[in-house]
Amino acid sequence: MTLHPQAQAFLDYLKSLGGVPIHTLSPEKNRTGMNYLSKKMSLAAQPVANMQDRVIPVQDGEIKLRIYTPTGKGPFPILVYFHGGGWVMGDLEVVDAPLRALTNGAQTVVVSVDYRLAPEHKFPTAVNDCYLATKWVSENARLLGGDAGRVAVCGESAGGNLAAVVSLMARDRGCPSLCFQVLIYPITDISREYPSESKFGGFFLSGEDMRYFENHYLRTDEDRQNMFVSPLLARDLRGLPPALVVTAGYDPLHDQGKVYADRLKEAGVDVTYYCYEDMIHGFLGFAGIMDRGKDLIELMARVLRSKNLLNRR
């Protein structure tokens, strides 16, 4: 399938700006660039019934959560969301508009996690922040108007990696109990290179960009073999929550996302897999100019409504 014209127009726009590759810029400049693109390319922000920011304690510090509540009578299911950005970029503002739409579409409380970023905070800080945030949400579900028996995790790209890892940690530690996981073009294995990385490295995200993110995130090269960095290396995926796994056809991360979905299925996990064959990495954040981004939000909302997330466990 050929690249979608809206994705091609976006790439042409970046080229017209004299786009400098991510891997050549400092983390600070990349963060500024990501915030600029999200404001310019994202959906218009929808109103929700309520939004509040809350600070919670985590290991060696504290982080902020942003809590979105839909209209209606609770207790609602809860979706804990981890933004993308290669563990180096991203914040609550970057995903604000998509999460407002998801809150309304799925009729769920959405909790956005402002986990600490690399290189200031290397692995496993982001993992621990996201796990502890999910645990806090589960323990305080009633305070949020939610149901502790219906807590799911979700993320895109590096956030998809964190959602997969938190699901593994929750299973292995016995808490919190998660009912679903949503992995949007996730990073699942940085221990080796997959064919899609070289095949689609010229479409917004490149292999050099991935090495940049990894080098900022990891403490040592041995971390690549850690299943909490590369969840695809986990020996046993049995007992994980049902999953929606989404990939993009023109994405260097396509193959590792697809392989993870296949491994989950082989382990007996209920998996819904969908590939947007004509899309590039990151298109959810560009839903203001790419119709496929709006389609993805609708898909996520539809699957969350149709699965066990809305049924008491």
Give catalytic residues, as residue numbers.
157, 251, 281
Q: How distant, in Å, are the alpha carbons of 212, 264, 267, 268 from that of 241?
A: 31, 10, 11, 10
CA 237 remoteness from chain centre: 19
**Contact (Cβ atoms closer than 8 angstroms) between residue 88 and residue 32:** no
Do β-strands 61-69 and 50-58 pair in parallel, antiparallel, or remain unpaired?
Answer: antiparallel
The partner residues of 146 in beta bridges, in order of sequence, read 76
Taking the C-alpha atoms of residue 190 and residue 207, their distance in angstroms, rounded to an integer, is 11
**Contact (Cβ atoms closer than 8 angstroms) between residue 43 and residue 295:** no
Taking the C-alpha atoms of residue 215 and residue 109, their distance in angstroms, rounded to an integer, is 34
Helix (H) or strand (E) holding 63: strand 61-69
The partner residues of 80 in beta bridges, in order of sequence, read 111, 153
Q: Residue 39: CB partners within 8 Å, gap ≥ 6?
A: none
Helix (H) or strand (E) holding 57: strand 50-58
